Structure 1
């Protein structure tokens, strides 16, 4: 019974991913269709965040694909279409946004976080090293004698235990 449930969940999980966006828009020639697919693959879906609008099945991605289709039939260039999308949704719709004052955090934020994390780890390690108790105190003569007796007793008890 458990296997049946597991198999059912796996089948529905696999079928759930097959609901990708299916585009039924018509084009007058193949070059226009290729430009459409190229543009849809380089623009990021504002809702899905890490999917391009060609792969996204969200309503906003469908609207954006419709806008691209409309602008291509109006005769706009790829640059004009990308500029329109950027003016409407910001640099976020580009997978490779240009370096500007507003995108500095996108470009250098991950490196800054990595450096800050490394600095925090180094600070923790350094503070733990400083707070360790002193370890190299020599044993006094009485402590050595007592330790020697304990070790001899332990050796004898090991030899006697069969």
Structure 2
């Protein structure tokens, strides 16, 4: 009986801790709830960098979720909330940053590397195909080759 009481006490203790970790947000309309969920899955946690604010357990992500909740309850639109987050945390907070002068290297860099690589491959292959006039095979080279082969063959017979 004592074991059952300890197990029940442990289960109750762990269930209270699990209940405290769940955030519950109440909304006036279904549209506000959908907007909150969408923003939670589209805004990036500045601390975690690869998680959305909905997926992250960092304190900063919790603060951002709470701010999105407050702004949604106040009737702010999705664009207004995203603009507020960009003003505060920069373009990094969105997964699809806009094309600006600062981000042009990120957008155009891989394309430039690929084009440069293909250009180098084409130039090197064309240079390899070119044969200089001095490198052409002539009668003199043919005679020298035959002389070398004859020497080698004579050396094998001994």
Per the normalisation by structure 1, the TM-score is 0.59
2:35 corresponds to: 35
Which structure's CA Rg is the greater one? 2
Aligned to 1:58: 58
Partner of 1:92: 92
Structure 2 residue runs of 5 or longer lacking an equivalent are 1-20
Q: CA deviation at 1:68?
A: 0.8
Offset from partner CA, 1:68-113 (integer Å, 9 cap, x none): 1121122222121111101111222122223334433343233234
Gaps of 5+ in 1: 1-21, 157-162
- Equivalent runs, 1:139-154 vs 2, <5 Å: 139-147=141-149, 150=152
**Contact persistence 1:25–1:69 (CA under 8 A):** no
Change (3 A) 1:122 1:140: closer
C-alpha root-mean-square deviation of aligned residues, in Å?
3.6
**SS at 1:45 equivalent:** coil
Counterpart residue number, 2:72: 72
Aligned to 2:23: 24
**What is the total number of aligned residue pairs between the two structures?**
132
- Mapped to 2, the partners of 1:55 and 1:81 lie a distance apart of 18
TM-score, length-scaled by structure 2: 0.60
